[in-house]
Chain A
Amino acid sequence: MSGFASLVWRELRRAWAAGGLTLPVVFFLLVAILFPFAIGPEGKLLARVGGGVIWAAALLAALLPVERLVNPDLENGVLDQLAVRGWHDASVAAAKTLGHWLGFAPTLLVATVIAAALLNLSLDQTRAALIALLIGTPGLAALGVATAALTAGLRGAGAVAGLVMLPFAVPLLIFGAGAMEGDASAMKLLGAVSLVLVAGCPFVAGAAMRMGRG
């Protein structure tokens, strides 16, 4: 197994061990369940806001594991040991991003099918939601790792992480929710935003990890 693959595998294993596989999904479903209670059981209204609800829930679910993505490795000296072995911080961040995405996205997609039923989404809407999430979640994962690196070592990092991450996730939210309404150009813009985040965030996270070490 190559070094990169074993780093990704380690991230996945840690996600499973920390309940990372189930917790965000349960949280995601809970938000989807709460909405019909809050705005009433009117089918048309639910179907109209459903896409937005799913995106807001996915955003919050991706935020849940942020505290354990980088901070434990910083405190435990794992980042030091990787740096001594000549690992570039951005490569480590990229491995973390891939591991984080594999940890939460596939189960989130399965949960989306359930949430779509709860929110009275049509079959077309559900399909659009799944495609949009498939395109958008890598961007969310990259943003999560960058946020985790920026807030690593802070006390109360969880709350600060929300403040750092959510504004940057607004473009994903706008185009993601737009793409669910079958808007093809929104889908393309969602892909563009996600790609920018996936390409840029590892460098931001890497720089933050380097600063944290100094």
Chain B
Amino acid sequence: MSSPRLAFENVACLRGGRLLFEGLSFALEESGAALVTGPNGAGKSSLIRVAAGLLKPAAGAVRVEGECALLTEAAALDPELPVAKALDFWAGLDGRREAAEAALDAVGLAHLAPVPVRLLSTGQRRRVGIARVVASGAPVWLLDEPANGLDHAATAMLGHLISEHRLQGGIVVVATHLPIHIPGAHGVVIGEAA
């Protein structure tokens, strides 16, 4: 794959008439990572949505080279479907149906494949979301609070998956208020500490 790139150039974000951040610039090359931190309501999730192209920045520009995989608070999994089927739907759209099973295994949920999504706990649902990101094969990962609801073991697993992805040249942007250790990550702090 051609080397992925993600760059924020003087980006400002306006939500509901409130300026969340402005003049934000950073660039990530191959294997790069950014750790976005800030108090509640500072605009961490909005930053992720701007990076994903779901929100237009009020000023500045965002340049992304390579496909994006997005993990947000919303699971985007059909509640009545078994976990494996729900994941297969997205993997199928990405043209990577064969990657779904391994991804579910990578997040340690292979044994839950036949269980309907609605019966999953918050943490398990989040892990299926992570499995979707892994299965997508996209070089740019945009993760909004990926460790929410995860236990210690699962958080360690997440860290492991992220470093593996970077070893393969992928880019990661993580927005979080939890202490996740990402070696060599570019720190992006938004909003003043309240």
**Interfacial residues, chain A to chain B (CB-CB below 8 A):** 1, 3, 6-7, 10, 14, 17, 75-78, 80-86, 213-214
Contact = CB atoms under 8 A, between A and B. Distances in A.
Interface stretch (B36-44, B89-97, B99-107): B89-97
Given A6-B92, A10-B89, A17-B80, A84 B54 contact: yes
B1 interface: no
B74 interface: yes
6 contacts: A6-B92, A17-B80, A81-B76, A83-B54, A84-B69, A214-B55
Interface in B47-95: 49, 52-56, 67-70, 72-78, 80, 89-90, 92-94
B70 A84 contact: yes
Nearest to A84: B70
A6 B89 contact: yes
B92 A75 contact: no
Contact of A6 (B70, B73, B93): B93
Interface residues of B, number: 25
A116 B1 CA distance: 61
B93 A77 contact: no
A212 B44 CA distance: 19
Nearest to B94: A85
A85 B93 CA distance: 9
Given A6-B89, A6-B92, A77 B74 contact: yes
A139 to B, nearest CB: 28
A76 B74 contact: yes
Contacts of A3: 92-93
A84 B53 contact: yes
**Nearest 6 CB-CB pairings of A with B:** A77-B74, A77-B76, A81-B76, A84-B70, A78-B76, A3-B93
Given A6-B89, A6-B92, A6-B93, A83 B72 contact: no
